[in-house]
Structure 1
Amino acid sequence: MSAVPVVIIGAGPTGLTAATLLGQYGVDCLVLERWGAVYPQPRAVALDDEVHRILARIGLRDEFAAISRPHKGLRLLDRRMRVLAEFRRDGEHGRHGYPEGSMFDQPELETILRSNLQQYGSVTLRGSTEVTALTQQAGGVRVDFTDQITGRPDHVLAQYALGCDGANSLTRTSIGVTMRDLKFTQHWLVVDVVTDADLGQWEGVHQVCDPVRAATYMRVGQTRYRWEFRLTPGATAEHYRDITRLHPLVTPWTKDIPAEALQIVRAAEYTFRGQVADRWRDRRVFLLGDAAHLTPPFIGQGMAAGLRDAMNLAWKLAGVLDGTLPDTVLDTYEIERQAHARSMIRLAILLGAAMTGGGKLGNIIRHVVAPRWRLIPGLRQRVMHSETPALRRSALVVRQVLRRTLAGTLCPNVVLDGARRFDDVAAGRFAIVTSVTPSAAQRAAIEGCGAALVVARPGSELHRWLRQGGAHAAVVRPDGTVMRSGRDLSELCTALPGPLH
């Protein structure tokens, strides 16, 4: 029987990101995927600058920029396609150094993720492999699988197993976890279309606020477009796989473009749900991505949440495996990520209800209120700003109640010198960010822990960030999250663990 420190079940964006992050720390991983190649159908199409930052961290800064396009914001429309409100993104980049919203094709993303993974010799990706069982044993997890080409059964013993195997997760079932319903279920038609014709539409997300036929439209690529329509009772996606039947639905955007100029890539029925797993870990087995949470797509955070899971867990697991961190830090994964994911799902549900719910009365309210939203101070920035909630307190998010703190938030990925950003300097390590000049002893303590030292110059963006957080310094974790902040640099230096190898 072969053995490996980590087995990752599923090679979608979450599993590939987790494998790449672990590969950067030199952790031996085996990734098991039932598909022989990249799944060809488009699914996720949007991510924010926080997740773009994760892709840059794993070496895909330029590659992702080449296959994506920034979108310009959100436009709310009524059923007659009249604009109720518009929220535009003015700048090109957000606080993380990348566009605050980007559109992409998921198969293209998975292709560059797989290609990038090949540079890490410690990671093996095995396709056409169906995982059939997980059994926890003393000191490890037995993962049984079958080669779908030869039919041969096999197994491997792992110290840890990561279930990145989607909404119908075998991993989740094997550890007896159930999904808690957040009381949201809707049936939608999701359509991807390719055309060389110019639709001439505004380059942002269009949301039709209609409780009878809610719809979303966005341009995904140079020639590819995505529509989502809420299905009426009794309707199915099968009816709309013929372009002549689909054409009347998309005509408000395609105008005089004939049906034969549009090619359907996919027309599928999706059940949008809001659900969170009641547990994200059972001893040595962890759940990530859709195996742990499902969200409606109204704020484009489905795939993004899975990549955040990977970013949160990978460095902790690498530290435990190399002995730098105690295994108790793995308890912080569920504490931090479950609360964050639930908050984002509830936000998606709330916005979905605000944009499409309420029947006729809801339509009347939206017609009266939506055009005046732009008059509310700060609302446009709040709607368009991609900053997500701070992580909950844990052993790795140290903050005092009722005191202003940066703990649990992300350190801005600002340019420090030349073209280098904060993440380039931190390079997957702990870091100390300080607005005071460290003493020789403090520098020695930081260097002894293998941490990065970033001195925030007066007037710089990092200096303002520290001041706004009521701090002179902050300990930043390898995932970019502030572990703790305060005014005493010497005290913060003592919070640094040893180096991650």
Structure 2
Amino acid sequence: MKTIPVVIVGAGPTGLTAATLLAQYGVECLILERWESVYPQPRAVALDDEVHRILARLGLRDEFAAISRPHLGLRLLDRDMRVLTEFRRDVAQSRHGYPQGSMFDQPELEAILRRNLKQYGTVTLRGNAEVTALTQDADGVRVDFTDTATGEHESVRAAYILGCDGANSLTRASIGATMQDLGFTQRWLVIDVVTEADLDQWEGVHQLSDPARAGTYMRVGKNRYRWEFQLTPGEAADDYRDMARLHPLISPWTGNVPVAELEIIRLAEYTFRAQLADRWRDRRMFLLGDAAHLTPPFIGQGMCAGVRDAMNLAWKLAFVLDGTLPETVLDTYQIERRHHARAMIKLAKFIGTAMTAGGEVGNVIRRAVAPRLHLVPGLTDLATDSRTPPLHRSDLVVRPRLRRGLAGGLCPNALIDGGRRFDDVAAGRFAIVTSIEPTPAQRADIERRGAVLIVARPGSDLHRWLRTGAACAAVVRPDGTVLRASRRLLPQTISAVRSVGR
């Protein structure tokens, strides 16, 4: 039976991202996907600049720019379509070099992810491959799967399994993990429409705060639009498959566009949930994406969380497989990502509840309070800033308990020289960013450790970033996360790289 270092179950954005990152480190992997090709229905439609940065790391900077469009922020509307308040985002590039928010069509994203993967000879993608059993022993995992086109049963062995197999994850069941309900369940109607007509709407996210029927509208692409409406008890998606019944819901945005020019490409009922797996790993098997967490869509972080999972785990796994790091560093995956995912789920719950709950009383409160929200100091920045919480302390996030600092956060993908950014220079390796000019001996030590040295010159973005954390040096991991920051001595920071490799 053939043995493969990594088998990835599921070829959605999370699985494809993990496979590409592993391939960049030369790791052989097999992706098993039950669908023959890209699943054609649109699902995720939004991502932030941190995830845009990851896509660029995969080599998709230009390809993603061609299929996406920046969105301007968030607008709250009352039931009469009057604007209660508006939080605008700067569409210029953020600290990571990309728009803070972008809209896209998921099948198009998956298509470019698959095309990009073909350049790596270490990755095999098998469609029509339904995994039926995962059996783990001390030395690896037996993977049984069926070719759904021929009915043939096959098996391989894997050193590690990445379960990117969605909300109904076989991998999750195989490790005995269960989903914990975080107390949010709502039924929504999701509609995707294509039209060549110009709807002439503000190109941000529109949130309809109507106690009778909360809703969301956004432009996804050049001719693609998404609506989401909360369903009332007794309603179902099938009630709206007739455009005559659906049109009254979307007509406040479509205006005088003839019904004949509106083509429904997807209409489905979704139950928005807030759930988190109690375990994300059992020895050689890991959960990523929807297999590990489900996030209500109000802040557009569902797919983003899965891509972050892949970014967090892939480099660690690659360094373990090549002997650079001990296997114990894999314990940091759940510690770091589970706390982060929980924080984002809680934020999505809060936003969703604030926009949809409370009935008529809630509506009165929103109409009174929302127009004044922009007057609250810092609230606009909070509503528009794409930054997410720092990672939890782990063996790879070293920070003092009483001071936040830079550790656990992302190093900005700042411009450094000649038009190159931090990620271009670091190139998936450890990096040391310092405002102190190192001695020749220190430079040699850093190079011997396989790390990249980046000197932050006074007045540069990286120099200002270090100062915000009261630091003069920081160790940055291959995923862009700060492992450790130092206030005074560069040797203390260098020792952090040395200790990780032990």
TM-score normalised according to structure 1 size: 0.99
Query: In structure 2, the residue corresponding to 1:196 is in which secondary structure?
Result: coil
User: Does 2:227 correspond to 1:223?
Assistant: no
Q: CA RMSD in A?
A: 1.1
Query: In structure 1, the residue corresponding to 2:324 is in which secondary structure?
Result: coil
Question: 1:403 matched to which residue of 2?
Answer: 403
In 2, the alpha carbon distance for the partners of 1:454 and 1:138 equals 42
In 1, the alpha carbon distance for the partners of 2:388 and 2:404 equals 17
Question: 1:494 matched to which residue of 2?
Answer: 495
Question: 1:202 matched to which residue of 2?
Answer: 202
After the TM superposition, which residues 38-187 of structure 1 pair with which residues of structure 2 at under 5 Å, given as runs? 38-187=38-187
Query: In structure 2, the residue corresponding to 1:102 is in which secondary structure?
Result: strand
User: Which one-letter code corresponds to 2:21 in the other structure?
Assistant: L
In 2, the alpha carbon distance for the partners of 1:282 and 1:212 equals 45
In 2, the alpha carbon distance for the partners of 1:498 and 1:27 equals 24
**Shift in Å, 1:499:** 11
In 1, the alpha carbon distance for the partners of 2:85 and 2:203 equals 15
Query: In structure 2, the residue corresponding to 1:445 is in which secondary structure?
Result: helix
Query: In structure 1, the residue corresponding to 2:26 is in which secondary structure?
Result: coil
Asked whether the 8 Å contact 1:243–1:262 carries over to 2, the reply is no
**Shift in Å, 1:238:** 0.9
Label 1:153 to 1:498 Cα distance change in 2 as closer, same or farther (>3 A): farther
**Shift in Å, 1:379:** 1.0
Asked whether the 8 Å contact 1:84–1:371 carries over to 2, the reply is yes
User: Which one-letter code corresponds to 1:251 in the other structure?
Assistant: S
In 2, the alpha carbon distance for the partners of 1:11 and 1:450 equals 32
In 2, the alpha carbon distance for the partners of 1:323 and 1:139 equals 17
**Shift in Å, 1:90:** 2.5
Question: 1:325 matched to which residue of 2?
Answer: 325
Aligned residues: 500
User: Does 2:13 correspond to 1:13?
Assistant: yes
In 2, the alpha carbon distance for the partners of 1:364 and 1:468 equals 40
Label 1:189 to 1:301 Cα distance change in 2 as closer, same or farther (>3 A): same
Query: In structure 1, the residue corresponding to 2:116 is in which secondary structure?
Result: helix
Of residues 209-218 and 68-77 in structure 1, the stretch that sits farther from structure 2 once superposed is 209-218
Query: In structure 2, the residue corresponding to 1:495 is in which secondary structure?
Result: helix
Asked whether the 8 Å contact 1:449–1:498 carries over to 2, the reply is no
Question: 1:376 matched to which residue of 2?
Answer: 376
After the TM superposition, which residues 317-466 of structure 1 pair with which residues of structure 2 at under 5 Å, given as runs? 317-466=317-466
User: Which one-letter code corresponds to 1:321 in the other structure?
Assistant: L
**Shift in Å, 1:497:** 4.5
In 2, the alpha carbon distance for the partners of 1:125 and 1:477 equals 28
In 2, the alpha carbon distance for the partners of 1:357 and 1:337 equals 29
Question: 2:477 matched to which residue of 1?
Answer: 477
**Shift in Å, 1:436:** 0.5
**Shift in Å, 1:211:** 2.6
Asked whether the 8 Å contact 1:449–1:499 carries over to 2, the reply is no
After the TM superposition, which residues 258-277 of structure 1 pair with which residues of structure 2 at under 5 Å, given as runs? 258-277=258-277
In 2, the alpha carbon distance for the partners of 1:287 and 1:237 equals 31
Cα-to-partner distance string for 1:378-436 (whole Å, 9 max, x where unaligned): 21111000000000000000011113421000000011112210000000000000000
Asked whether the 8 Å contact 1:414–1:462 carries over to 2, the reply is yes
Asked whether the 8 Å contact 1:451–1:499 carries over to 2, the reply is no
In 1, the alpha carbon distance for the partners of 2:91 and 2:225 equals 24
In 2, the alpha carbon distance for the partners of 1:499 and 1:175 equals 28
In 1, the alpha carbon distance for the partners of 2:14 and 2:26 equals 18
Stretches of structure 2 that go unaligned for 5 or more consecutive residues are none
| Percent of aligned pairs with the same amino acid | 73
In 2, the alpha carbon distance for the partners of 1:275 and 1:498 equals 35
In 2, the alpha carbon distance for the partners of 1:406 and 1:381 equals 19
**Shift in Å, 1:91:** 4.1
Question: 2:33 matched to which residue of 1?
Answer: 33
In 2, the alpha carbon distance for the partners of 1:297 and 1:248 equals 23
**Shift in Å, 1:241:** 1.6
**Shift in Å, 1:239:** 1.4
Asked whether the 8 Å contact 1:410–1:480 carries over to 2, the reply is yes
In 2, the alpha carbon distance for the partners of 1:69 and 1:263 equals 21
User: Which one-letter code corresponds to 1:388 in the other structure?
Assistant: T
**Shift in Å, 1:356:** 1.1
Cα-to-partner distance string for 1:85-106 (whole Å, 9 max, x where unaligned): 0011134111111000000000
Of residues 264-273 and 355-364 in structure 1, the stretch that sits farther from structure 2 once superposed is 355-364
In 1, the alpha carbon distance for the partners of 2:122 and 2:404 equals 42
Cα-to-partner distance string for 1:280-310 (whole Å, 9 max, x where unaligned): 0011000000000000000000000000000
